[in-house]
Structure 1
Amino acid sequence: TLWLPVGPFNGSSIVDPEMRPVEQHLIPASAAERSLQILREFGADIWLFTTDKWLIDNPGGSYVAHEQHTIRADPTIVSDFSPYLSSACKIVGASADAAGLAACEKAMQEALGSEATAVRSQTYYLDVTPPGFDKGTFVEAMAKRLGIATAAVATIGDMQNDLAMFRVSGTSIAMGNAADNVKDQATHVTASNEQDGFAEAMEMILKRNGVG
Structure 2
Amino acid sequence: MRQPISLIALDVDRTTLTDDYRLLPAVVEAVARAVEADVQVVAATARAPNALRGIAASLGLKGPSVCLNGAWTGTILSDEAMMEHGAPMNFARTKALISQAEAVGLNPCWFTETDWHALSHGHLVEREAHATQTNPVLASSLDELAQPIFKVLCLETAGTGDALEKLADNFAGDFNFVRSDRHLVEITSSGVSKQGAVAALTKRLGVDRENVAAIGDSENDLDLIRWAGFGIAMGNGSEAVKRAADWVTWSNAHAGAAFAIDTIIAANRAAARTPEV
Same fold (TM over 0.5): yes
Q: Deviations along 1:65-85, whole A, 9 cap, x unmatched?
A: 442343332211112234327
Q: Is the 8 A contact 1:135 1:165 kept in 2?
A: yes
TM-score by length of 2: 0.67
Shifted more, 145-154 versus 75-84: the winner is: 75-84
**Distance change >3 Å, CA 208–CA 108, structure 1 → 2:** farther
Residue matched to 2:151: 90
TM-score by length of 1: 0.86
**Distance change >3 Å, CA 74–CA 190, structure 1 → 2:** same
Shifted more, 167-176 versus 111-120: the winner is: 111-120
Q: Considering Cα pairs closer than 8 Å and 6+ residues apart, tell me whether 1 or 2 has the greater RCO.
A: 2
Q: Is the 8 A contact 1:4 1:16 kept in 2?
A: yes
Ranges in structure 1 where 5+ consecutive residues have no aligned partner: none
CA distance in 2 between counterparts of 1:129 and 1:22 reads 18
C-alpha deviation, 1:142, in angstroms: 1.9
| Counterparts of residues 121-136 of structure 1 (less than 5 Å) | 121-136=180-195
**Distance change >3 Å, CA 41–CA 65, structure 1 → 2:** closer
**Distance change >3 Å, CA 157–CA 97, structure 1 → 2:** farther
**Distance change >3 Å, CA 39–CA 144, structure 1 → 2:** same
Q: Is the 8 A contact 2:154 2:186 kept in 1?
A: yes
Letter matched to residue 150 of structure 1: R
Matched position secondary structure for 1:79: coil
Residue matched to 1:67: 128
CA distance in 2 between counterparts of 1:99 and 1:184 reads 30
Letter matched to residue 51 of structure 1: E
Shifted more, 85-94 versus 45-54: the winner is: 85-94
C-alpha deviation, 1:134, in angstroms: 0.9
Q: CA RMSD in A?
A: 2.4
Residue matched to 1:119: 178
Residue matched to 2:111: 49
Q: Is the 8 A contact 2:71 2:192 kept in 1?
A: yes
**Distance change >3 Å, CA 41–CA 167, structure 1 → 2:** farther
**Distance change >3 Å, CA 204–CA 49, structure 1 → 2:** same
Q: Is the 8 A contact 2:155 2:184 kept in 1?
A: yes
- Which of 90, 94, 101 does residue 28 from structure 1 map onto? 90
Matched position secondary structure for 2:187: strand
Residue matched to 1:13: 72
C-alpha deviation, 1:129, in angstroms: 0.8
Ranges in structure 2 where 5+ consecutive residues have no aligned partner: 1-59, 271-277
Q: Is the 8 A contact 2:107 2:154 kept in 1?
A: yes
**Distance change >3 Å, CA 107–CA 189, structure 1 → 2:** farther
C-alpha deviation, 1:87, in angstroms: 2.4
Q: Does 1:137 align with 2:199?
A: no
Matched pairs, number? 208
